[in-house]
Each structure stands twice: as structure tokens, then as C-alpha cells.
Amino acid sequence: MHLGRSRRLFFPALAGGMLLLAGCAVPAVNGPGPPPAGPPPAPAETIPLPPVTEDELIWQPGHWDWNGLRYTWREGRYVPRGQHGNQWQPGFWALENGGWIWLPAHWL
């Protein structure tokens, strides 16, 4: 009896988590109307000293992300330098196939 209750609670939570992760990987579609207002201004960030030599890491600025309902702030962090380009592109709304989509922040 107790195991059945656990399963009833576990599987909806698992499915919700999977949908949340799927939403992070795919641009959010807003539809044919105008996009939501752009993200708020970025808060001031103090860039800490890197934990290892600067040649190995690059600062990835904090940025706003769209989760389908609202903007969420992602704090800046150091990332390995060799895994991407050197130019940072903040997230933005783009008109694609007659609808607005959110293109998440990324390296160029």
C-alpha cells in the first residue's frame, strides 16, 4: 500500500522534471503575437578571480533566460575556454516561421 502511494507521487514529479529539462533545451515558442517585453536590465556583477589560470577559463556573463512564463537570472561563472567561441550573445526574441521564439544566450 505504501509503495503504491510512493509511485503515484514519484512518477508525476519525474515527468514534470523531464518536461522542465526539455524546455531548457528547446527555444520557447511564444506564438504569432509580439514577444513578451525584453528581459530586465542585468544586475551588476563582480567578476571573481578565476580558480585556475586565465588561459584555461573564460568568464561567461550572467544572463536572463526565458522559461516559458518569465525571465530567470543565471549568474555568471567561469567556463572552459576551449569549448566555444570567444563572443557572448545574450538571449533574444526572434521572429521565425511567423512566430516569436526565444533564442537562449550562447557563445558565438
Q: Could you read off the pLDDT of 16-41 as tens digits, one per residue?
A: 443 333 344 345 566 667 777 889 99
| pLDDT value of residue 107 | 94
Q: Are 51 and 73 in contact (CB under 8 A)?
A: no
Residue 2, judged by CB atoms within 10 A of its CB (0-12, 13-18, 19+), counts as exposed
Length of the chain: 108
SS (H, E, C) the chain: CHHHHHHHHHHHHHHHHHHHHHHHHCCCEEECCCCCCCCCCCCCCCCCCCCCCCCCEEEECCEEEECCCCEEEECCEEEEHHHCCCCEECCEEEEECCEEEEECCEEC
Confidence (pTM): 0.64
Q: Tell me the per-residue pLDDT of 57-88, one tens digit each, with 9 for 90 and over.
A: 889 999 999 998 899 999 999 998 887 888 99
Q: In what order do the strands lie in the sheet with 29-31?
A: 29-31, 99-103, 92-96
Residue type, 1: M
